[in-house]
Amino acid sequence: METVSVLLFFFLFLLVAEARSTKRTGCKDFTCGEHDFKFPFFRTDMPSRCGLFKLNCSANIPEIQLEKDGKWYTVKSVSQANTITIIDPRLNQSLTTGGCSDLSSFSLPDSPWLKLNTLYKCNNSSRKNGFSYANCRGEGSSLYYNLGDDHDVSGCSPIKTPESWVTPKNGNLSDVNATFSLHIELPGNCFRCHNNGGECTKVKNNYRCVGANTEPNNYHAEMRLGLGIGGSVILIIILVALFAVIHRNYRRKDGSELSRDNSKSDVEFSQVFFKIPIFSYKELQAATDNFSKDRLLGDGGFGTVYYGKVRDGREVAVKRLYEHNYRRLEQFMNEIEILTRLHHKNLVSLYGCTSRRSRELLLVYEFIPNGTVADHLYGENTPHQGFLTWSMRLSIAIETASALAYLHASDIIHRDVKTTNILLDRNFGVKVADFGLSRLLPSDVTHVSTAPQGTPGYVDPEYHRCYHLTDKSDVYSFGVVLVELISSKPAVDISRCKSEINLSSLAINKIQNHATHELIDQNLGYATNEGVRKMTTMVAELAFQCLQQDNTMRPTMEQVVHELKGIQNEEQKCPTYDYREETIIPHPSPPDWGEAALLKNMKFPRSPVSVTDQWTSKSTTPNTSAYEF
């Protein structure tokens, strides 16, 4: 009874505090159509400082402005992950009537609060990789391009687009979709500014709070006191409930190992779960058409992945774990905990998951439509199979290395780096996935002692032999990926001779014997293009350094990124390599550009070992038996 009284007092206190906050700011939560809204949204009859996106609620279906005095868009749905799905009525009418020929007039406002992509419309026909859309095509004089910050955009006009602009088709072209989702990104300072009655603005990439109440008040002190009291009470209740669960499971005669271990992880699991949206099993079952085989995207050692579309219109990839036991639950929780704390453009985004108590463990990711790097390198009868040019492969290597360097800077070891875990988006941008085996590495230790796990052909031999997991274990696996990119060969191939079943062994053997030309995919232009020849040899040397058996002799991922970017700079300096057109221009090879000379002339100041050293060093000889399975 006393506990109930304390809880009642706590909730009454929060209501009073919220009432004071509403009185001070003059803003409140509201309902518009069938949806409930709060900051950063505000109605047309509210002051502009109440939000950043104005809503018109006069009609049955709400409308929204993405910028002040801007165009009105129809609101379709709002999710709990700060994502709003809207319809552009002008684009929808243009697509419906078949009159769509130019997307420039449908560009979204360049809002600092929205996560948008930039598409360029260029009239320069000499550019490579231009494309158009099946349901919005002109007379062929204008094409669209995905250009990075380092590209020349002269003669091009930018078009701001959502991330889910298109709908995939079976053909080469995609359709533009007038219904799309936008993700709202706000800094925490904006919420504090709003609570203090101010208006959040962005000036020259800096956030500013205008008109906030700076007079001293006891609101935050009262809130902290209330949260402290309420948090203590809730913690006591959780501990009592946890004790009851443990006691009940202990007394249950037929209790399994899963039941006993579940009770121990309740608190930890709930702490992870409160950070991301929870999907119901029925919702994901409907989104994947009851996990239809036609929706199957792939499968691996831990589960199958299906394509789906959730209620708010987002395309998703749903991972369905094979078993619901304690080991799978541990991997399930591990991936959630890691992905909720990471934010990098080259890491796949986690949208949500099912409850631990769900009949199946399901993880919901953003949908990456272009398959895996492995599909494009040597996939058989896959819809994504296609030749990757050297420029594309080098960009894939750099983006993957950048993602791994970010993980290591965050004290995380991926532990399963391979080409099937490197996804490619529509623009062939990298998204590193699958963190079920990843481990947090405390900053005050050099390694973690754990049983070796990973994929044959990629596992660090020293980790396999000594059970010591370090960030250099990822470096070794990435070295195998680099060899795959330059050779177009799989990491393991039992059709090769015994000593070369593992690609790492084959690569070490070829490089040590100055036979790099036998390793590199000749379709890249190695024999005919001096620029490709030089750069692929440089990448082969870098891969050799990553594959050192002694992990102290391998570079860090930060050093790998530095070296790869240096090689990319060489790409743009080469007079015989037109990286924009991806054409191969044959020229006679100068006498000083032989393979051995290239290896001798290369300098890697940060790298611990150079392939120009004596090849007979025992530290560089792979012990294939240590990591062949």
DSSP-derived letter for residue 475 is H
- Distance (Å, rounded) from C-alpha 121 to C-alpha 132? 10
Q: Look up the pTM and report it.
A: 0.51
| 3 state SS of 262 | helix
Mean pLDDT of the chain: 76
Q: Choose between 271 and 201: higher pLDDT.
A: 201
pLDDT tens digits, one per residue of 121-140: 877 667 777 777 888 876 55
Residue bearing the bigger pLDDT, 263 or 120: 120
Binding site annotation covers 202?
A: no
pLDDT at 504 over 70: yes
Categorize the per-residue pLDDT at 204 as very low, low, confident or very high, splitting at 50, 70 and 90.
low
User: Does the pLDDT at position 292 exceed 90?
Assistant: yes
Residues 593 and 428 sit within 8 Å (Cβ to Cβ): no
Q: Which residue has the higher pLDDT, 113 or 566?
A: 566
> Lowest mean pLDDT: which of 227-236, 504-513, 546-555, 616-625?
616-625
> What CATH architecture applies to the domain 444-624?
Orthogonal Bundle (1.10)
Residues of the chain with CATH 1.10.510.10: 444-624
Percent of the chain with pLDDT over 70: 71
Mean pLDDT of 400-405: 96
The closest alpha carbon to 122, from 144, 149, 95, 152, belongs to: 144
On whether the CB atoms of residues 346 and 400 are closer than 8 A, the answer is yes
What is the pLDDT at residue 128?
74
φ and ψ at residue 528, rounded to 5 degrees: -115, -20
Give the C-alpha separation, 312 to 181, whole Å.
8
309 bridge partner residues: 315
Active site residue 416: yes
Phi/psi-derived region of residue 155, left when phi > 0, alpha when psi is between -120 and 50, beta in every other case: left
- pLDDT for the residue 537: 94
Contact between residue 497 and residue 576 where contact means Cβ atoms under 8 Å apart: no
- The pLDDT tens digits of the residues spanning 363-395 come to 999 999 988 999 899 866 555 555 789 999 999
Q: For residue 291, what are its two tokens?
A: 């996990």
The stretch 406-415 carries a mean pLDDT of 89
- In this prediction, residue 329 carries a pLDDT of 76
In the block, which residue shows the tokens 């070490």?
508
Distance, CA of 453 to CA of 153 (rounded, Å) = 46
What pLDDT shows up at residue 393? Answer: 95
Burial of 108 (0-12, 13-18, 19+ CB in 10 A): buried
Query: 407 vs 168, which has greater pLDDT?
Result: 407
The per-residue pLDDT for 125 is: 61
Q: According to CATH, what is the number of the domain 252-366? A: 3.30.200.20
Q: Which helix (H) or strand (E) holds 578?
A: strand 577-578
pLDDT at residue 145 greater than cutoff 50 = yes
pLDDT at 491 over 90: yes
Residue 619 has pLDDT above 70, yes or no: no
> What percentage of the chain reaches a pLDDT higher than 90?
27
- pLDDT value of position 368: 92
Q: What's the average model confidence in pLDDT over 281-304?
A: 87
Q: Cβ distance 42 to 53 under 8 Å? A: yes
Q: What per-residue confidence (pLDDT) applies to 48?
A: 83
Active-site residue among 416, 460, 471, 521? 416
Give the per-residue pLDDT at 613: 38
Query: For position 626, what pLDDT does the model report?
Result: 31
What per-residue confidence (pLDDT) applies to 96?
Answer: 87
Q: What is the mean pLDDT of residues 209-238?
A: 68
Tell whether the torsion through CA atoms of 79, 83, 85 and 86 is positive or negative. positive
317-345: average pLDDT: 79
Write the pLDDT tens digit of every residue in 41-71. 889 888 888 888 899 988 778 999 998 888 9
Whether 106 and 91 have beta carbons less than 8 Å apart is answered as yes
Q: What is the pLDDT of residues 2-20, one digit of tens each?
A: 444 445 455 545 544 454 4
pLDDT attached to residue 105: 86
The boundaries of every CATH 3.30.200.20 domain in the chain are: 252-366
CA distance 420 to 418: 6
And the tokens for 468? 């010591």
Out of 1-5, 352-356, 388-392, 424-428, pick the least confident: 1-5
Q: Average pLDDT for residues 400-414, to the nearest whole number?
A: 92
Per-position b or e across 129-162, b if 16+ CB within 10 A of its CB: bbebbebbeeeeebbbbbbeeeeeeeebeebbbb
The pLDDT score that the predictor gives to residue 390 is 93
Tell me what the mean pLDDT of segment 506-534 comes to: 91
d(CA 49, CA 200): 8
